[in-house]
Amino acid sequence: MVNEKLVPAKNGYTILVGEAALHSRYDPKTEAEKYINSLNLKPFKFFILLEPGLTYLADSLKNKFPVARVISVHCSSFFDKDCELSWNPSCSESLEDFLELALSDADASDIKLIDWKPSVNVYGKACLDLTSRTVECIRRINAGRKTVKNFGKRWLKNALNNLTIMHTTVTALPGEIQVLVCTAGPSLEDSINKITEWKESVSSPLIIAVSSAVPALLYREIQPDIIVTTDGGSWARCHLLESLMYYEKGASKKPVMVSALTAALPSQIKNYSVCVLRDGSLWQDLLLQEAGFLQQSIAFPQRGTVSVTALDIAFYLSSGDVFICGLDFAHRDLLTHARPYAFDRIIDKRQFRNNPYYFQVFERENMIRSSGSHGIYATWFTNNSFSERLYTLGESRYGVSSGKPLLNLEKKKVHFTEHSRNIKKGKKHLIEVLQNALDNPMLAGKLNKELGELLLSDNSHNEKIITEEIQKALLELINE
């Protein structure tokens, strides 16, 4: 255990850890200024100080770059939150959640990390772990920003399309039932026998499945109660279409669809009850309000991977224990997902002598592996603290302990209430809602920022030009 002491320096204060001092015993302020000057820094939008000790480094950076935002992250709780942009291990929020909020409008190129060598010498592994977590978080945030730039327009188009085809929404009265979350990793196949046994017991769980896991479950006659989809890419419809074909053949019970407003949904969704997820952005709230769905929607932050969103939903819907299976963030040789998998049908149709099936599978596996997305999600999952009532149905993974469900436990189930919409709003009308909001001084600033990120490749112009460009982009959407 490290014991820090605040002691006077000749000019100011320093921290002693044993015999080692984190700051100069003579003039820590001048020491910090010299160190910052020695780095020959250019202006950055954000500076992140990795265990800077006291505020000398932060003060020096603020003086040198008054417009920049200086963030201090500590590996020791000895350093209380000295300002709004600081974090230590005693904070109620995780480092990752803190950085996500603080860096919500940042690209990786806007950020400069600065470490403090005396802290590395004193705190050792704790300081290095802090650095590693910060770097991984920035990587994930940057990946998310790139996704917004690449898919922003598609997300908006999806939202407009979804609001015109959805007819019935649902609200939920949470229960106490045990919940099983099925994700699509290859290990889902290993859990099938356990799932079947559990489902046939008196304490059958509420089964929540991500859309890509549903074909593997239905193939084994396991019907999920809830299907979750958040992906805005057009290929995401493949998973849902594969599943909806099963239900359109006359299944006894249709699942509740839980969908992000921006997800890519097929037109058949009009025949299903949908629980809409929103991310709290102004543009989504405006559209949902106009469509009559805002009160029935649920606000969850964007998670990057549908697996974590499914867990959010599980914890929201029940106070009982939550079990997860198929959470791999890894491949088994060429096997990327549990089988059957919706894309298998597409690959099979595309195969011919010069493009054999296994060559396509290899290419796809290599593409996913090279993207690095699995590593980002796995690191995020490992570094986040989930509820103590979360267990894996199989072996322990990413810090989540293995658990065994109670097969003779009857608890209050989740109750869903359907709400049908009487008035349908067209796409043109919904776009006009956004256009009118841009003319509202109370809404324009925030809406400009949100829609600019979705629709424009360059947001560096003044607000008037950005508004004009957004209005033009919205007009183009009417005819698309």
Half-sphere exposure of 299 (CA within 13 A, CB side): 9
453 confidence band (pLDDT: 50, 70, 90): confident
Assess whether pLDDT exceeds 90 at residue 299: yes
Q: Is the pLDDT confidence value at 150 over 90?
A: no
Q: How far apart are CA 102 and CA 368, in angstroms?
A: 29
What's the rounded Cα separation, in Å, for the pair 62 and 70?
7
> Has residue 437 got a pLDDT over 90?
yes
pLDDT single digits (tens) 337-386:
788 877 677 666 677 777 776 666 667 667 666 666 656 666 666 666 66
pTM for the complete prediction? 0.75
Percent helix, strand, coil in the chain, to 5, is 45, 15, 35
Burial tier of 154 (Cβ tally within 10 Å: 0-12, 13-18, 19+)? middle
| Host H or E run for residue 420 | strand 415-420
Tell me which of 350 and 316 has the higher pLDDT. Answer: 316
Let me know: does 95 contact 87? Beta carbons within 8 Å. Answer: yes
Quote the tokens at residue 383: 């570094």
CB 411 within 8 A of CB 320: yes
Identify the pLDDT of residue 152. 87
Task: State the average pLDDT over residues 401-405.
Answer: 89
Residues 6+ apart with CB under 8 A from 278: 260, 261, 284, 285, 288, 294, 297, 298, 299, 300
pLDDT single digits (tens) 225-278:
999 999 988 778 888 888 888 888 877 789 999 999 999 999 999 999 999 999
Per-residue pLDDT at 360: 67
Rounded Cα distance, 411 and 206, in Å: 11
Q: Is 10 helix (H, G, I), strand (E, B) or coil?
A: coil
Q: What's the pLDDT at 84?
A: 67
Q: What is the mean pLDDT of residues 24-38?
A: 95
By C-alpha distance, which of 139, 164, 145 is closest to 105?
145
Helix (H, G, I), strand (E, B) or coil at 349: helix
CA-wise closest residue to 242 among 340, 351, 121: 340
The single-letter code of the amino acid at 57 is L
Mean pLDDT, the chain, whole residue set: 87
CA–CA gap between residue 86 and residue 109 (Å, rounded): 21
Tell me what pLDDT residue 81 has.
59
Q: Mind listing the pLDDT tens digit for each residue in 69-83?
A: 999 999 998 987 556
